[in-house]
Structure 1
Amino acid sequence: MTPIEKCKMLYTPQSPRTFEEDMMAHLAHGYFFSTPEYVLMGRPVWSQATQEQINDVWCAFPPELHDAWYVYAFALADDQGLAGLVKKLLRHIPFYLPLIAWERSGHPLTFFSTDKLIQKYALLQLVQD
């Protein structure tokens, strides 16, 4: 299954928007990367905003408030687990922000320290090599 197909599977008839609508929002107010290896939709956000504002794909925060990356959707062609996803994400964020946030199904929006993720997954890479 391709990364695009995996992302499209996240959408159901009950979803507030289609994959294509979310893609257009991220092209307008964030970032959309698609390769045969991965798909990433995300945008810079303000971590102190409400969850509703952060989840609103059309909400664009002023650049001076950007302190976190919100990973809206991310899929890899091959199943590398969470560690693989995070390592790939860290290699492809467009610029540094101190926090990275994402939601997993059944879990609330969570913010992580970018520096701690870099440390953790760089160490994991060293152990695996």
Structure 2
Amino acid sequence: MTSVQEMKDELQSLIDRAKSAAEQAEAQSALYAVAVAAQTHRLDLVSVLLAIIAILLAIGGLAGFFEIRYRARIAAQETARSECRTIAADLLNNYVNDELPDKVRRSVELIFQERDGNGGDYGEQDTS
């Protein structure tokens, strides 16, 4: 009878040979699959399909970019218009309340100076 150790060694050698045979078969089948695909023009078809997908994605990306840029530009213009209206209204209100009365008074004084020759006492009168 053979010893247990000899049986273990024999079994291990069988396992190792089976692993190497499986790896060789897998490598050959992968090479064979590539060779068959190349011969039946499946690789060319895959390449063409991938190129078409890439082109469609690029066109979609460009269209999306230009659409987002267009909408952002419109939103910026609307915001700028509304902000400019608010700022202009504030400036006009300040001008009408602060600077316009002084300019009107000066204009009236100039008109009276030209008419009277000496300017009169406009602005110095007691209006109470």
Q: Provide the TM-score with structure 2 as the length reference.
A: 0.19
By percentage of residues, which structure has more strand?
Answer: 1
Structure number with greater Rg is 2
Relative CO higher for 1 or 2, CA cutoff 8 Å, sep ≥ 6?
A: 1
By percentage of residues, which structure has more helix?
Answer: 2
